[in-house]
Structure 1
């Protein structure tokens, strides 16, 4: 494994034949839930990410997400941070199972996610 320098930070790079495998919990990656609302149509989108929510919003608004590209532009209704990505993903799936637009409107009015 080599180390590359990046402005004072060193990080390992993978060489052929070497594989690094870690789960989200092992590296304690934080996760985020976000709810978007289409400015074009009265639609909501629920998502989760390990990345910045601002970056994900950009992905949705430039058409990189197939399921949302026809309803652009999108704006953020609410976001919530979780200790791990798997926790955020679990909450995302529970919200999607509800399939209740009135509940998403309530979240928008209150400004937070409550399950």
Structure 2
């Protein structure tokens, strides 16, 4: 089963959010943009800016943690503009 790491962006608060899911677009539309996720509630609406598919949940979770640990907006923006 495929899992995705995704990056959302909120123009309202000028911030990115990194997450992982089996269905990122469904999660965006039924959780994040409806205010059901505490971490993204204040930035509604969010838009999907990048996603990458992984072969397992473990791989997706590992990549999500790696990106979050970097805490680098510059790195995220380079990732969004180029190849991941």
Under a length normalisation based on structure 1, what TM-score does the superposition of the two structures give? 0.68
Name the counterpart of 1:60.
Answer: 32
CA distance, structure 2, for counterparts of residue 108 and residue 60 of structure 1:
20
Where does structure 1 lack aligned partners over 5 or more consecutive residues?
1-28
- Per-residue deviation at 1:61? 0.5
Name the counterpart of 2:18.
Answer: 46
CA distance, structure 2, for counterparts of residue 76 and residue 48 of structure 1:
12
- Per-residue deviation at 1:39? 2.2
The correspondence of residues 98-113 of structure 1 with structure 2, limited to 5 A, is 98-110=70-82, 112-113=83-84
Name the counterpart of 2:60.
Answer: 88
Where does structure 2 lack aligned partners over 5 or more consecutive residues?
none
Under a length normalisation based on structure 2, what TM-score does the superposition of the two structures give? 0.92
Runs of 4+ in 1 over 3 A off after TM superposition: none
Of structures 1 and 2, the one with the larger relative CO (CA 8 A, separation 6+) is 2
- Per-residue deviation at 1:63? 0.6
String of CA shifts for 1:92-113, please: whole Å, max 9, x gaps: 0000110001011111222x42
